[in-house]
Amino acid sequence: MRTVTGNMAKNRSRSCQQILFFRELDFSLDEIKTIMARPDFDAVEALQSHKALLQKRKERIDELLNTITKTIKNIKGAKLMEIKEYYQGFSDEQIEKYREEVKRRWGEKTLKDSEDRVKKMGKEKFAAVQAESDRIFHTIADNLAKGADSKNRSGRGCEMAAVAGELQPLFR
C-alpha cells in the first residue's frame, strides 16, 4: 500500500511539474490539459522539449542582458555601439512587429525617412546624437523626480518642453 501511495504522489508531482514547465513556456491551462490528455503524451519527450525551449529562452535572455550591459557602458561613455548592437537579442519578428506598428501609426514614409536618416548619419554623428539624447533624457528624468507643484508647474513645464524640443533637430 505504501508503494502505491508513493507512486501516486510521485506521478502527481511529475504532472504538476509538467504543468509548471508548460506554464513557464506560456501555454494556457486549456492547452496543457489537451496536450497531457493525449494518449501519445510522452513525459520524457515533453521534458526534453521543455529543456530545449528553455535553453533557447536562456540564450535569448543572456543576449538581452549582454545588450543591456553594452548599452549601460555606452551611456557612461565607455563603449561605442553600432546601431545593430542595440537590437541584439530581439528577434527579427519582434523588430518587424515594431516596424509594422510605426507604419500603422505614422505611415510607411515616416518609417523609411527615419531609417534613411539613421543610415546617413554614420557612426560618429550617431554617437554624437546618442550622447546628446542621453543628456536630454537624463535632464528630463532628473526633473521628473522633483515633481510638480501648483506654483512651479507652468514654469517647469515650459523648461521641460524646451529640453524635449532639443531632441527634434538631432534627428533631422
Q: How many Cα atoms sit within 13 Å of 42 on the Cβ side?
A: 5
Half-sphere exposure of 153 (CA within 13 A, CB side): 4
Q: Give the model confidence (pLDDT) of 143-164 as tens digits.
A: 655 554 444 444 555 565 666 6
**CA 144 to CA 135: how far, in whole Å?**
14
Helices (H) and strands (E) in the chain — how many of each? 7, 0
Domain residue extents for the chain: 91-172
State the angle between helix axes of 108-144 and 92-106 in degrees (0 to 180), rounded to the nearest 10.
100
Q: Which residues fall within 8 angstroms of residue 148, CB to CB, at 6 or more apart?
A: 156, 157
Give CA–CA dist 85/95, Å, rounded.
13
**For residue 57, which of 12, 29, 31, 21 has the smallest C-alpha distance?**
21
pTM of the predicted protein model: 0.48
Quick one: DSSP state of residue 80?
Answer: -
Count Cβ atoms below 10 Å from residue 32 Cβ, excluding itself. Answer: 18
Q: What does the alpha-carbon distance between residue 171 and residue 90 come to, in Å, rounded to a whole number?
A: 23
What is the pLDDT at residue 4? Answer: 59
Determine the 3-state secondary structure of 147 from DSSP: coil
28-50 confidence digits (pLDDT tens):
999 999 999 999 999 999 999 99
pLDDT on residue 39: 92
Which pLDDT score is estimated for 131? 72
Residues of the chain with pLDDT under 70: 1-6, 83, 122-123, 126, 134, 137-138, 140-172
